[in-house]
Structure 1
Amino acid sequence: MATKPDKTKLKVCQYGENCYRKNPIHFSEYSHPHLDKIYEKGINPQTKKYDIPDEYDMSSDIIVLQLKLLEKVFPKAEKKQTKTTTTQNTTQSQNGGYRLGSTKESETVTVTKQDEVERVERNKSPVPSTSSAAVKQDNSNLRKKPRIDRNIKDYIAVVLEKGKMAEKLEKSAPYNFFLTAITDCKQTHHEPLTVTLQEIFDESLGEVESTAQINFMVDIGWLLGHYYFAGILDKPLLVLYGDDMPELATISKHKPQITAIKVNMPTPFATSHTKMMLIGYKDGSMRVVISTANLYEDDWNNRTQGIWISPKLDPLPEDADTVAGESPTKFRQDLLLYLVEYKIAALQPWINRIRRTDFGAINVFLVCSVPGGFFEGPRGHPWGHARLNSLLKQHATKINYKIPVICQSSSIGSLGANVQAWIQHDFLNSLRKDSESTGLQQIPPFKMIYPSYGNVSNSHDGMLGGGCLPYSKNTNDKQPWLREYLHQWRSNARYRTHAMPHIKSYTRVNLEEEEIYWFVLTSANLSKAAWGSFNKNVKLQPCLRIANYEAGVLFLPRFVTGEETFPLGKIRDGIPPFPLPYDVPLTPYAPDDKPFLMDYLH
């Protein structure tokens, strides 16, 4: 039987009193002195609740939840073992492995839920080796081993039926654009364009051989829990991460199938912010997933996230020409150029695989940012907002300058002293382009969707819903002009008004004609660091300076539907409407509204 973790040997969580994690695995690995003090004092016999000190009033909801996790991980009284008359046998599963079953023959011990938590925390696969020797050995010990009742719903909030994702993805065409399920909104759980992380690994999409996760924040225990229940825990996993995650630094010592590499940035305030998955299948095919979600629990619970999932990409014949298999949007070439920019040797097997894969089925453009200074080349600008400029000039249909550019992100950078400084001079100057652009054009209107204080306070998680909105008072105070361009977060049509947006998107929408000219889903917030800023020295060729790694996809109608625009709101000539993540027309801030600031949580 598993042993209870020794609290005295746990490392102290680096986030201290600001820890918002809700993962039992995290609490079995890290201590939290402020929680321990409340937990050891125990439940107040009069109120039947824990006494939460006043200084934690703003985060009392999360603390109560974390205390319940401590109850599971460090129960104060050992649960009694109960005897049942079952013995375990093995039945072969569809994927060729073996799962544990039971018949009423002999005595075994039922393991407490804590043992289950610890078992998953150690990431021991529930699937024994399929070699005949291993199976024989396991069968000989079955009656001696405790029966473990694993319940996926104890670890994953929204669990949908397996084997259905391939059909769901096929029906999502031609956009392949999903939003994540919202834990506290059941209407989203079975919405056709809702997806869970577990579904991305669904067996109907292919038998997973290996994966690569490129992301900013990675809670490896939580992620491996998903791999565990997907039956791919033992498959090779490459993790490139941006945030300081101490548990990832030594993960390969305990789990040799995992290679975790922190992406080093050239400047202190730069961020490796991309959220990308590469999934390789046993038949040689692969898939690319572009997301806005970090790989930790909160981002997949009550936050609105966007996910684009590529079609299954088959391997090219061995004798195929080197230029064969490219998509009309040059997606493969741009993906290779992007991955090379990391200069990480562990990516080379994926780069080689991508070169040998047919990307012809992809109908979107890859739009990325990488750190550095860049000039326009033969293919136009390679990165950042200038990359959008080049693509829109080549492929976007003519757009009236009065059609606004709608920006929506989960954070806002320092944009300058006025709207002209960077928004108009750089950003809108790039995004106003179309294929008929000639000479000087007027700058289009600018609209920004960013949650108000009221949006957050009325969210599923209350004020804690603002935990994914790191816009600071210091930055906001320097740009009071932004207030007149701000709009509420409203997503009634997609049941997500109360699910705060961590998604980032940019588009131009014509409400009168009910059409959308283009749409960008990306990890890039509205900031110079994410999109880049041109140097202001007119004597030099313009150089775009970018700080971050970012990745997104551009939906252009000519490549996705063969039309000049996307339908808005209803089917047009058999083409489904583009699935906007928010409601239009937009709702401007009321006079007494104010943007949510991270400082409200402190």
Structure 2
Amino acid sequence: MSQASLHGRWTVSSSDDDDDEDIPPSGTTAPKPRRSPSPVPEPTPLEVKAEPVRTPVSSSLTIGSEARQSAARNQLNPVKFENSPSLAGKRKKEASDGSGWALSDSDEDDEVKNDRQVNPPKQAPPNGERKKAKMESERPPSPHGRLYYIDEPDNFFESSVPCLNDTYRFYLNKVTGLDRKYNSGALHIRDILSPLFGTLKESVQFNYCFDIPWMVKQFPPEFRHCPVLIVHGDKREAKARLLQQGQPFPHVRFCQAKLDIAFGTHHTKMMLLWYEEGFRVVILTSNLIRADWYQKTQGMWMSPLFPRLPEGSSASSGESPTFFKRDLLEYLASYRAPELEDWIQRIKEHDLSETRVYLVASMPGRYVGADMERWGHLRLRKLLHEHTDPIPGEERWPVIGQFSSIGSMGADKTKWLAGEFQRTLTTLGKSSLRPDPPMYLLYPSVEDVRLSLEGYPAGGSLPYSIQTAQKQIWLHSYFHRWKAGRTGRSHAMPHIKTYMRVSPDFTQLAWFLVTSANLSKAAWGALEKNNTQIMVRSYELGVLYVPSAFNMKTFPVDTNPFPASSPTSGFPVPFDLPPTSYTSKDQPWIWNIPYSQEPDTHGNIWVPS
């Protein structure tokens, strides 16, 4: 089956045409694209076939997706680009830092299971430092400068509270290799857990992907043995590997989120931090693995420090105008997990009244009647209907979506994107007007990934598969490049997910959402039974900013968010506006096909295994 467009032509075997046939049974290893013995120019059309299922190999790491496995293997054993055909297929033998974490999570296509096995990472040789030095000397000059190759410098982790934007409390992560000014006001996980933000007593970490030993090291020494509860969605072998990671750390406990609908994931990323001084919530886009905090663009909302309520306060005390406390308690209660009961009680005992954002969550299930508006994109639609106002000329106000993974949208745009999701994103107040404004979808091109700080392995956290892409080439006409020069992050591939409505001149925002939810029906939900029911597969969590909660009519866009200095009324949009559309030569990044004609910034090519 072959399809062509301005953004690529691919051929896949007929066995890939049926979504259901793409999904291996539970506990099996997914079919893999065949490894090319040497990097050769891709044929046109490109054929991607699957190998027979192999016996899974156990691993001590929890790498939950096929995309993650592929990138882990490619980063541990990158294929070196050489002009000589006889040398082109040789793999460099140097190992990475030995962690095996080559990429971040990603909410995946509906067709991809989240509990597949992976080959164990290779250990660094005894003379690893010498090998590393050799690898550095063999690298080609980076177009971004030498600093893009280094690890975090000694002064990377701040020793004082960074300059924070207290107006919106929306922050980007620190990125190794950037000019220092582009990290000012940004946060690393060590900053978040620093004693400068409170004297930590206990915490909960909700996430999709974990490296427990790495996570423990991010806590400062004085908090390193404070109790930590891990909320995850792993099952069977993946769960066993996660529990094995936690065995050396008796202060780490686990809570398994229920996933009763096939192909759903526990994709929520949240920290609950309980201090001697109070309580804090952090909702973010990063997994708890080093790669997500190294050279990727991530975002987060960090709450104020919520003080404890006086003894004897009523059940309704400490509520915010956005009903954040009520909604957070409802979200936690929906897990139906005894391990969270103490945390639900602690939140009830604190004053969350300073919160100015709305909670937008997805919870797996099928919902009818009034419950349809509790979760997913119908929850977002309800909030936009109730808490925004119509804008003159709103039919010219574009919608922008930005994400790191793409699910199956259907045969044409009417199946879900325009027929359902776009209606949510274009809701403004109680107006009956249903405009059809422009929609810009920001997703990295092949060239964006190739020239990124990480090179091709960054594409392992952008798991858009050939099997899905070839069925929805119509979607690619919406695509725009990842450009973030204004924030200094054009070459730090995005794992952040944001959605917004912006004025025609790109200077004002009608609303802004940062979330864990990628562009997929699994994340946002899809209507069923003649629109009388919505089905949601995954756990997701984000926060919605609307101007009315900040006593504004619109949010002005901050045209120069870095270096951060003093509080500003401008919103720090994490990419450049206006968006840059794909040209006829641009192709969206597809993670499971080879790219061997040009090397990346590290001199390697991409040959999925």
Measured against the shorter chain, the TM-score band is 0.7 to 0.9
Q: What letter matches 1:240 in structure 2?
A: V
Deviation at 1:268, TM superposition (A): 3.0
TM normalised by structure 1 equals 0.73
SS in 1 for 2:328: helix
Alignment of 1:70-149 (within 5 A): 75=126
User: Using a 3 Å threshold, how does the CA distance of structure 1 residues 329 and 72 change in structure 2: closer, same or farther?
Assistant: same
Instruction: Give the whole-Å Cα distance in 2 for the aligned partners of 1:464 and 1:592.
Output: 22
Judge conservation of contact 1:177–1:308 (CA < 8 Å) in 2. Answer: yes
Equivalent residue for 2:218?
226
Structure 1 stretches lacking a partner, 5+ long: 1-9, 23-31, 39-51, 80-153
The reply on whether 1:549 has 2:539 as its aligned counterpart is yes
Contact 1:21 1:297 in 2 (8 A): no
- Report the Cα distance in structure 1 between the residues aligned to 2:344 and 2:153, rounded to whole angstroms: 34
How many residues are matched? 479
Change (3 A) 1:513 1:247: closer
Rounded Cα–Cα distance in structure 2 between residues aligned with 1:68 and 1:570: 38
Contact 2:296 2:495 (8 Å CA) reproduced: yes
Q: Distance in 1 between matches of 2:269 and 2:427?
A: 27
C-alpha contact (below 8 Å) 1:179/1:306 kept by paired residues: yes
Aligned to 2:426: 432
CA distance in structure 1 between the partners assigned to 2:205 and 2:283 by the alignment: 10
Matched, 1:275 2:269: yes
Mapped to 2, the partners of 1:322 and 1:72 lie a distance apart of 54
Amino acid at match of 1:434: L
1:565 aligned partner, one-letter code: T
Work out the CA distance in 2 between the residues paired with 1:68 and 1:273: 22
Inter-CA distance 330–299: structure 2 relative to 1 (3 Å threshold): same
Match of 2:116 in 1: none
Secondary structure of the residue aligned to 1:175 is coil
How far is the alpha carbon of 1:508 from its aligned partner?
0.7
> Which of these residues, 543, 547, 552, is aligned with residue 563 of structure 1?
552
Contact 1:162 1:203 in 2 (8 A): no
Q: Where does residue 145 of structure 2 map in the other structure?
A: none
| 2:392 is the alignment partner of 1:397 | no
Once residues 160 and 71 of structure 1 are traced to their aligned partners in structure 2, the CA distance between those partners, rounded to angstroms, is: 28
- Using a 3 Å threshold, how does the CA distance of structure 1 residues 342 and 188 change in structure 2: closer, same or farther? farther
Q: Does structure 2 conserve the Cα–Cα contact (< 8 Å) formed by 1:271 and 1:549? A: yes
Question: Deviation of residue 77 (structure 1)?
Answer: 11
Query: Following the alignment from structure 1 to structure 2, what is the Cα–Cα distance between the partners of residues 352 and 524?
Result: 27
Structure 2 letter corresponding to 1:568: V
SS in 2 for 1:551: strand
Relative distance call for 1:66 and 1:230 in structure 2 (3 A) is closer
CA contact (8 A) 2:361 2:376 kept: yes
For the residues of structure 2 that align with 1:450 and 1:271, how far apart are their CA atoms? 22
| Corresponding position: 1:216 with 2:247 | no
Instruction: State the identity %.
Output: 34
Q: Is the 8 A contact 2:200 2:273 kept in 1?
A: yes
CA contact (8 A) 1:155 1:225 kept: no
Structure 1 position 282, deviation (Å):
1.5
Aligned twin of 1:168 = 163
Task: Mark the CA change 1:221 to 1:529 in structure 2 (over 3 Å): closer, same or farther.
Answer: same
Which protein is richer in helix relative to its size? 1
In the alignment, is the contact (CA less than 8 A) between 1:404 and 1:447 conserved in 2?
Answer: yes
SS in 1 for 2:271: strand
Displacement after TM superposition at 1:260 (Å): 1.7
1:255 maps onto 2:249 in alignment: yes
Residues 281-334 of structure 1: CA distance to partner in whole angstroms, max 9, x if unpaired? 013x11000000100011111110011100000111111111010011001111
Matched residue, 1:412? 406
Q: Judging changes above 3 Å, is the alpha-carbon distance between structure 1 residues 71 and 259 closer, same or farther for their aligned structure 2 residues?
A: closer
Alignment match of 1:307 (pick from 297, 300, 325)? 300
Cα distance in 2 between the residues matched to 1:340 and 1:156: 39
User: Map of 1:329-340 to 2, 5 A cutoff?
Assistant: 329-340=322-333
**Larger RCO (CA within 8 A; separation ≥ 6):** 2
**Cα displacement (A) at 1:344:** 1.2
Larger-Rg structure: 1
**Closer/same/farther in 2, CA of residues 156 and 575 from structure 1, 3 Å limit:** closer
Give the direction of change, closer, same or farther, for the CA distance of 1:376–1:54 in structure 2 (3 Å limit). farther
Match of 1:65 among 96, 112, 128: 96
CA distance in 1, matches of 2:403, 2:524: 12
Q: Kindly provide the CA deviation profile for residues 138-180 of structure 1, in whole angstroms up to 9, marking residues without a partner as x.
A: xxxxxxxxxxxxxxxx996675455522x633xx121111111
Q: Contact 1:373 / 1:543 at 8 angstroms: preserved in 2? A: yes
In structure 1, C-alpha distance between the alignment counterparts of 2:457 and 2:548, rounded to whole Å? 41
- Tell me if the contact between 1:449 and 1:487 (Cα under 8 Å) persists in the aligned partners: yes
Structure 2: stretches of 5+ with no match in the other structure: 1-57, 80-85, 101-120, 131-149, 561-566, 594-605
SS in 2 for 1:221: helix
Whether contact under 8 Å (1:182, 1:301) holds in the other structure is: yes
Could you tell me how far apart the structure 1 residues matched to 2:239 and 2:507 are? 45
Matching residue's letter, 1:454 = E
Give the root-mean-square deviation of aligned CA atoms. Answer: 3.2
With the length of structure 2 as denominator, give the TM-score of the two structures: 0.73
Cα displacement (A) at 1:352: 0.5
For residues 593 and 162 of structure 1, do their structure 2 counterparts lie closer, same or farther at Cα, with a shift above 3 Å needed? closer
Instruction: Compute the displacement of 1:552 (Å).
Output: 0.1
Aligned to 1:299, the other structure's residue is in SS state helix
Structure 2 CA distance for partners of 1:251 and 1:499, relative to 1, 3 Å = closer
Return the alpha-carbon distance in structure 2 between the equivalents of residues 199 and 376 of structure 1: 43
1:239 and 2:230 matched: yes
Does 2:459 match 1:471?
A: no
Contact 2:373–2:379, Cα closer than 8 Å, also in 1 = yes
Shift in CA distance, 157/544, structure 1 to aligned 2, threshold 3 Å? farther
- Separation (CA, whole Å) in 1 of partners of 2:69 and 2:231: 25
Mark the CA change 1:351 to 1:53 in structure 2 (over 3 Å): closer, same or farther: farther
Distance in 1, matches of 2:354 and 2:128, equals 57
Instruction: Give yes or no for contact 1:163–1:203 (8 Å, CA) kept in 2.
Output: no
Q: For the residues of structure 2 that align with 1:503 and 1:258, how far apart are their CA atoms? A: 27
